[in-house]
Amino acid sequence: MPNFALFLATSIAITMAPGPDNLQVLARGISQGRAAGLVAALGFAAGITFHTTLAALGVAALLRSSPLAFHAIKLAGAAYLVWIGIKALRSQGLASAHERAPQPLMTVFRQSVLGNLLNPKVTLFFVVFLPQFVQTDGSQSGAQSVTVQMLELGALFMLQTLVVFSLFGVCAGMIGAWLRRRPRVGVWLDRLAGATFIALGIRVALRD
Protein backbone atom coordinates (compact mmCIF):
# COMPACT_ATOMS: atom_id res chain seq x y z
CA MET A 1 0.00 0.00 0.00
CA PRO A 2 1.61 3.28 -1.08
CA ASN A 3 2.18 6.07 1.44
CA PHE A 4 0.84 3.86 4.24
CA ALA A 5 2.33 5.78 7.17
CA LEU A 6 1.35 9.21 5.79
CA PHE A 7 -2.19 8.05 5.04
CA LEU A 8 -2.65 6.54 8.50
CA ALA A 9 -1.28 9.61 10.31
CA THR A 10 -3.44 11.95 8.21
CA SER A 11 -6.54 9.80 8.73
CA ILE A 12 -6.10 9.74 12.51
CA ALA A 13 -5.65 13.52 12.64
CA ILE A 14 -8.80 13.99 10.56
CA THR A 15 -10.82 11.53 12.65
CA MET A 16 -9.82 13.17 15.93
CA ALA A 17 -10.67 16.69 14.77
CA PRO A 18 -13.98 17.86 16.28
CA GLY A 19 -16.90 17.14 14.00
CA PRO A 20 -20.55 16.03 14.07
CA ASP A 21 -19.72 12.31 14.00
CA ASN A 22 -17.30 12.09 16.90
CA LEU A 23 -19.36 14.57 18.92
CA GLN A 24 -22.40 12.31 18.45
CA VAL A 25 -20.36 9.35 19.67
CA LEU A 26 -19.37 11.39 22.72
CA ALA A 27 -22.98 12.42 23.31
CA ARG A 28 -24.18 8.83 23.14
CA GLY A 29 -21.50 7.66 25.53
CA ILE A 30 -22.15 10.47 28.00
CA SER A 31 -25.93 10.09 28.00
CA GLN A 32 -26.33 6.29 27.66
CA GLY A 33 -23.05 4.73 28.71
CA ARG A 34 -20.14 2.97 27.06
CA ALA A 35 -22.22 0.41 25.17
CA ALA A 36 -24.15 3.14 23.33
CA GLY A 37 -20.91 4.98 22.57
CA LEU A 38 -19.37 1.83 21.11
CA VAL A 39 -22.47 1.06 19.03
CA ALA A 40 -22.51 4.62 17.67
CA ALA A 41 -18.82 4.28 16.78
CA LEU A 42 -19.52 1.02 14.95
CA GLY A 43 -22.40 2.63 13.06
CA PHE A 44 -20.37 5.58 11.82
CA ALA A 45 -17.47 3.33 10.85
CA ALA A 46 -19.80 0.97 8.96
CA GLY A 47 -21.18 3.86 6.92
CA ILE A 48 -17.69 4.55 5.54
CA THR A 49 -17.84 1.36 3.43
CA PHE A 50 -20.60 2.94 1.32
CA HIS A 51 -18.64 6.12 0.60
CA THR A 52 -15.42 4.19 -0.10
CA THR A 53 -17.17 1.94 -2.63
CA LEU A 54 -18.72 4.90 -4.45
CA ALA A 55 -15.41 6.74 -4.57
CA ALA A 56 -13.41 3.69 -5.69
CA LEU A 57 -15.79 2.74 -8.51
CA GLY A 58 -16.23 6.33 -9.68
CA VAL A 59 -12.54 7.19 -9.75
CA ALA A 60 -11.65 3.88 -11.46
CA ALA A 61 -14.27 4.56 -14.15
CA LEU A 62 -12.87 8.05 -14.63
CA LEU A 63 -9.35 6.68 -15.02
CA ARG A 64 -10.49 4.16 -17.64
CA SER A 65 -12.15 6.89 -19.67
CA SER A 66 -9.50 9.58 -19.28
CA PRO A 67 -6.20 9.37 -17.35
CA LEU A 68 -5.85 13.14 -17.87
CA ALA A 69 -9.17 13.71 -16.11
CA PHE A 70 -7.94 11.53 -13.25
CA HIS A 71 -4.94 13.80 -12.73
CA ALA A 72 -7.19 16.84 -13.04
CA ILE A 73 -9.41 15.59 -10.24
CA LYS A 74 -6.33 15.01 -8.10
CA LEU A 75 -5.32 18.65 -8.57
CA ALA A 76 -8.88 19.78 -7.87
CA GLY A 77 -8.82 17.57 -4.80
CA ALA A 78 -5.58 19.21 -3.65
CA ALA A 79 -7.23 22.63 -3.89
CA TYR A 80 -10.28 21.32 -2.01
CA LEU A 81 -8.10 19.91 0.78
CA VAL A 82 -6.31 23.25 1.17
CA TRP A 83 -9.69 25.03 1.29
CA ILE A 84 -11.15 22.83 4.04
CA GLY A 85 -7.81 23.11 5.85
CA ILE A 86 -8.15 26.90 5.85
CA LYS A 87 -11.71 26.56 7.15
CA ALA A 88 -10.49 24.33 9.97
CA LEU A 89 -7.76 26.82 10.88
CA ARG A 90 -10.38 29.56 11.14
CA SER A 91 -12.66 27.45 13.34
CA GLN A 92 -13.64 28.85 16.73
CA GLY A 93 -13.73 25.47 18.42
CA LEU A 94 -16.37 22.84 19.12
CA ALA A 95 -19.66 22.79 20.90
CA SER A 96 -20.19 20.58 23.91
CA ALA A 97 -21.83 17.22 23.38
CA HIS A 98 -25.44 17.53 24.50
CA GLU A 99 -27.26 14.82 26.35
CA ARG A 100 -29.83 12.87 24.40
CA ALA A 101 -32.78 10.76 25.49
CA PRO A 102 -31.84 7.08 25.98
CA GLN A 103 -32.62 4.88 22.96
CA PRO A 104 -32.28 1.15 22.16
CA LEU A 105 -28.82 0.18 20.95
CA MET A 106 -30.16 -0.99 17.58
CA THR A 107 -31.73 2.43 17.10
CA VAL A 108 -28.42 4.08 18.00
CA PHE A 109 -26.62 1.92 15.43
CA ARG A 110 -29.21 2.54 12.70
CA GLN A 111 -29.23 6.29 13.26
CA SER A 112 -25.42 6.41 13.20
CA VAL A 113 -25.21 4.45 9.93
CA LEU A 114 -27.93 6.54 8.27
CA GLY A 115 -26.40 9.77 9.52
CA ASN A 116 -23.16 8.82 7.80
CA LEU A 117 -24.76 7.44 4.61
CA LEU A 118 -26.94 10.48 4.02
CA ASN A 119 -24.08 12.97 4.24
CA PRO A 120 -22.96 13.71 0.64
CA LYS A 121 -19.96 15.66 1.94
CA VAL A 122 -18.45 12.38 3.15
CA THR A 123 -18.60 10.91 -0.35
CA LEU A 124 -17.07 14.08 -1.77
CA PHE A 125 -14.32 13.91 0.82
CA PHE A 126 -13.42 10.33 -0.10
CA VAL A 127 -13.50 11.12 -3.84
CA VAL A 128 -10.82 13.80 -3.38
CA PHE A 129 -8.94 12.32 -0.40
CA LEU A 130 -8.29 8.69 -1.33
CA PRO A 131 -6.88 9.32 -4.85
CA GLN A 132 -4.07 11.37 -3.32
CA PHE A 133 -2.53 8.14 -2.00
CA VAL A 134 -2.90 5.78 -4.98
CA GLN A 135 -0.46 5.01 -7.78
CA THR A 136 -1.43 4.20 -11.36
CA ASP A 137 0.17 3.66 -14.74
CA GLY A 138 -2.88 4.95 -16.62
CA SER A 139 -3.69 1.58 -18.23
CA GLN A 140 -6.72 -0.69 -17.89
CA SER A 141 -4.87 -2.76 -15.30
CA GLY A 142 -3.89 0.50 -13.66
CA ALA A 143 -7.56 1.41 -13.28
CA GLN A 144 -8.23 -1.93 -11.64
CA SER A 145 -5.28 -1.35 -9.33
CA VAL A 146 -6.70 2.05 -8.37
CA THR A 147 -9.96 0.38 -7.33
CA VAL A 148 -8.11 -2.12 -5.16
CA GLN A 149 -5.89 0.53 -3.61
CA MET A 150 -8.81 2.82 -2.83
CA LEU A 151 -10.77 -0.03 -1.27
CA GLU A 152 -7.73 -0.92 0.84
CA LEU A 153 -7.25 2.70 1.91
CA GLY A 154 -10.97 3.01 2.65
CA ALA A 155 -10.84 -0.15 4.78
CA LEU A 156 -7.86 1.24 6.69
CA PHE A 157 -9.66 4.55 7.22
CA MET A 158 -12.71 2.65 8.49
CA LEU A 159 -10.64 0.57 10.92
CA GLN A 160 -8.82 3.53 12.42
CA THR A 161 -12.13 5.41 12.66
CA LEU A 162 -13.61 2.48 14.55
CA VAL A 163 -10.65 2.42 16.96
CA VAL A 164 -10.62 6.19 17.58
CA PHE A 165 -14.40 6.52 17.86
CA SER A 166 -14.56 3.47 20.16
CA LEU A 167 -12.05 5.13 22.47
CA PHE A 168 -14.24 8.24 22.39
CA GLY A 169 -17.30 6.14 23.23
CA VAL A 170 -15.66 4.17 26.05
CA CYS A 171 -14.11 7.28 27.60
CA ALA A 172 -17.06 9.54 26.75
CA GLY A 173 -17.79 10.73 30.27
CA MET A 174 -14.17 11.57 31.01
CA ILE A 175 -13.51 13.14 27.59
CA GLY A 176 -16.75 15.13 27.69
CA ALA A 177 -15.98 16.59 31.11
CA TRP A 178 -12.38 17.35 30.07
CA LEU A 179 -13.52 19.13 26.90
CA ARG A 180 -16.06 21.20 28.82
CA ARG A 181 -13.30 22.39 31.16
CA ARG A 182 -10.95 23.12 28.22
CA PRO A 183 -12.98 24.56 25.33
CA ARG A 184 -9.82 25.84 23.63
CA VAL A 185 -8.74 22.24 23.00
CA GLY A 186 -11.21 22.07 20.12
CA VAL A 187 -9.54 25.05 18.50
CA TRP A 188 -6.11 23.40 18.59
CA LEU A 189 -7.46 20.09 17.29
CA ASP A 190 -9.06 21.97 14.42
CA ARG A 191 -5.76 23.71 13.73
CA LEU A 192 -3.93 20.38 13.68
CA ALA A 193 -6.42 18.97 11.19
CA GLY A 194 -6.31 22.18 9.13
CA ALA A 195 -2.53 22.13 8.92
CA THR A 196 -2.67 18.47 7.90
CA PHE A 197 -5.14 19.19 5.11
CA ILE A 198 -3.13 22.13 3.78
CA ALA A 199 0.18 20.24 3.89
CA LEU A 200 -1.37 17.30 2.07
CA GLY A 201 -2.95 19.54 -0.57
CA ILE A 202 0.36 21.33 -1.24
CA ARG A 203 2.21 18.03 -1.39
CA VAL A 204 -0.22 16.70 -4.02
CA ALA A 205 -0.13 19.90 -6.07
CA LEU A 206 3.69 19.92 -6.23
CA ARG A 207 4.09 16.20 -6.89
CA ASP A 208 4.78 15.08 -10.47
Give whole-number Cα distances, 155 to 79, 81, 89, in Å.
25, 21, 28
Residues of the chain with pLDDT under 50: 94-99, 140
| Contact call for residues 113 and 61 (beta carbons, < 8 A) | no
Predicted pLDDT at 99: 46
Domains in the chain: boundaries: 4-206
Question: DSSP readout, 180-200?
Answer: HH-THHHHHHHHHHHHHHHHH
Predicted pLDDT at 132: 78
Predicted pLDDT at 141: 52
The predicted model scores a pTM of 0.66
